[in-house]
Amino acid sequence: MRKNISVKEKIKQILQNKIQQEIILEVPKKRELGDFATPIAFSLAKKLKKSPIKIAEDLVNELNTISEFEKVEAVRGFINIYITDNFINQEINLALKSGLNFGSAENNEKILIEFVSANPTGPLHIGHLRGAIYGDGLVRLGRKLGYKIDTEYYINDAGRQIYLLGVSLQYAGLKYILNREIKEPEEYYRGEYIIDLAKEAYQYFQNPNCFDDENLEKLAVFGKDKMMEEIRSNLKNVNIEFDNFVSEKKLQENWETALNILEKNNGIYKDKNMLWLKSKEFGDEFDRVIVRENNIPTYLAGDIVYHYNKFSRNYDKYINIWGADHHGYITRVKAAIKYLGFEPEKLEIILTQMVSLLKDGQPYKMSKRAGNFILMRDVVDEVGANFKGQASFSIPMFKFKSLFFAKVEFGFPEKEIILLPLSLKKGMSFKTSSLSPEFEISNKISFFSTTPKSP
């Protein structure tokens, strides 16, 4: 049977043959520290009765003679290895010759990946597109490597944002459809899509009373459902589909159960008529409110019950792909997972950076509530679902700075060498620095090739 030998494993074998020792090989977090690194000098220190720094310096002289290595450096006892362009090109050629079989493997680890999960209060915008492509690329790569991956979209269909959607439709309906004089709400969602949605609601309910206060909840649910249809359609246009859609509102029935577990594990306390999560004990700036004075759960409470549901499904690993603006939630969510009796180490949270917009040469911030955002579908219509590479382009009044998109159909080795194998030419020299750092999936996926292995 032909099996894929990872490049990492290949480099490991080269080192072990040279040093005649079992090697631990790592991928440095910083690119400038090399393609691979090994702490072997620390392992040999006791045996050789020398300092790791001296051992590393001695080994570097030997390892620099290996033809696959461009250079080898000793840094505070660690050995950093840089592989040659020629070696990289050989791996590219092997991958191209292997075609669709490139990178195939078997792995029994079960992983749940949640991504996009945009609030169903409006269509997907350009910022969501970045996270969607990143998540889908990671899923395709993981499945290619044999991981058992399920994908999930968490629908935030409870709380204030859904109420405001109902208020927004009510206001648009009364003002623009029924032409009534009405006071503008203090807070609501704006934009043409809200007016269009109100028209759809009016046509659906066939009753002018649908915009009355007593029907506000029905309006909100109608709007949410229509937005989810739009979101699914937007994602399908770039060939992204989810295995599961999980409703926050549906999960609320598990809130009391989760709350009891938190209390049992001494993870919460009451103060100033509010319920607090002891997140500071896990490195958070301070403890966080999970139930307000009015007895209404906070946004964090929804995350708690959702992760209670997630971890109850017994996956080996969980990956959340969030926007960079959610970085502050990482510590508090992991604290809640620990208090719920699960292992927070099983959760990995990947942050994707925000999309930069310019208007008249100045940074511009999008807002659903202000109604000023660039729709994902407009961008896809502009560049196509199969756009590859990095580009600056314009949609009336806006310029996009260096957006990077890539759809991964198969195979992907660690150094981002073959992001889209069909776009590479045989023998071409390729430097990883030419690719967007947004796609540093190198630490998530093993660097592999298609060198045949004997049965």
Distance CA 278, CA 288 (A): 7
Question: Per-residue pLDDT tens for 377-386?
Answer: 777 776 665 5
- 73 and 111 in contact (C-beta within 8 Å)? no
- 258 and 308 in contact (C-beta within 8 Å)? yes
Domain termination residue (choose one: 351, 385, 419) = 385
Residue 355 in any domain: the answer is yes
Residue with tokens 């919460």: 268
| Whether residue 325 sits in one domain with residue 232 | yes
Q: Of 13-17, 342-346, 390-394, where does the model show the most confidence?
A: 342-346
The confidence score (pLDDT) of residue 364 equals 60
Residue 88 in any domain: the answer is yes
- 231 and 124 in contact (C-beta within 8 Å)? yes
Higher pLDDT, residue 266 or 368: 266
The residue-averaged pLDDT of 353-359 equals 66
| CATH number where 204 lies | 3.40.50.620
| CATH number where 426 lies | 3.30.1360.70
267-306 exposure pattern, b = at least 16 Cβ within 10 A, e = fewer: bbeeeeeebbbbbeebebeebbbbbeeeeebbebbbbbbb
Residue 204 in any domain: the answer is yes
Distance CA 107, CA 120 (A): 35
pTM exceeds 0.85, yes or no = no
The residue-averaged pLDDT of 162-173 equals 96
| Whether residue 441 sits in one domain with residue 325 | no
3-state secondary structure 241-288: CCCEEEEHHHHHHHHHHHHHHHHHCCCEEEECCEEEECHHHHCCCCCE
| Whether residue 333 sits in one domain with residue 415 | no
| Whether residue 455 sits in one domain with residue 433 | yes
Domain termination residue (choose one: 385, 418, 434) = 385
Is the pLDDT at 1 greater than 70, yes or no? no
- 428 and 436 in contact (C-beta within 8 Å)? no
Is the pLDDT at 293 greater than 90, yes or no? yes
Residue 323 in any domain: the answer is yes
Higher pLDDT, residue 437 or 152: 152
The confidence score (pLDDT) of residue 365 equals 64
| Whether residue 435 sits in one domain with residue 376 | no
Higher pLDDT, residue 396 or 289: 289
The confidence score (pLDDT) of residue 259 equals 96
Higher pLDDT, residue 435 or 84: 84
Residue 369 in any domain: the answer is yes
Question: Per-residue pLDDT tens for 223-277?
Answer: 999 999 999 999 998 889 999 999 999 999 999 999 999 999 999 999 999 999 9
| Whether residue 425 sits in one domain with residue 350 | no
HSE-CB for 199 with a 13 A CA cutoff:
6
At residue 30 the predicted structure's pLDDT band, cuts being 50, 70 and 90, is: confident
| Whether residue 323 sits in one domain with residue 365 | yes
The residue-averaged pLDDT of 23-27 equals 91
Percent of the chain beyond pLDDT 70?
78
Q: SS3 for 155?
A: strand
Q: Write the CB contacts of 35 (distance below 8 Å, at least 6 apart in sequence).
A: 27, 28, 81, 82, 83, 415
The confidence score (pLDDT) of residue 442 equals 31
Residue 262 in any domain: the answer is no
Higher pLDDT, residue 305 or 98: 305
The confidence score (pLDDT) of residue 220 equals 97
Residue 444 in any domain: the answer is yes
Candidates 85, 82, 105; CA nearest to 93 is 85
The residue-averaged pLDDT of 164-173 equals 96
| Whether residue 220 sits in one domain with residue 185 | yes
At residue 425 the predicted structure's pLDDT band, cuts being 50, 70 and 90, is: very low
At residue 35 the predicted structure's pLDDT band, cuts being 50, 70 and 90, is: very high
Q: Which domain holds residue 92?
A: 1-103+410-455
Amino acid identity of 123?
P
Task: Supply the mean pLDDT for the chain.
Answer: 81
Q: Write the CB contacts of 297 (distance below 8 Å, at least 6 apart in sequence).
A: 255, 290, 291
Higher pLDDT, residue 274 or 455: 274
At residue 453 the predicted structure's pLDDT band, cuts being 50, 70 and 90, is: very low
The confidence score (pLDDT) of residue 135 equals 92
| Whether residue 352 sits in one domain with residue 218 | yes
| Whether residue 237 sits in one domain with residue 182 | yes
The dihedral sign for the CA sequence 397, 352, 417, 110? negative
The confidence score (pLDDT) of residue 52 equals 92
What total of structural domains would you count in the chain? 2
Distance CA 90, CA 428 (A): 10
Question: Per-residue pLDDT tens for 91-129?
Answer: 888 878 877 777 677 788 999 999 999 999 999 988 888
| Whether residue 315 sits in one domain with residue 176 | yes
Is the pLDDT at 433 greater than 60, yes or no? no
Higher pLDDT, residue 359 or 230: 230
Residue 401 in any domain: the answer is no
Is the pLDDT at 89 greater than 80, yes or no? yes
Alpha-helical (H) ranges within 20-112 are 40-48, 52-63, 85-98
| Whether residue 321 sits in one domain with residue 381 | yes
Q: Write the CB contacts of 84 (distance below 8 Å, at least 6 apart in sequence).
A: 67, 68, 69, 70
Is the pLDDT at 356 greater than 70, yes or no? no
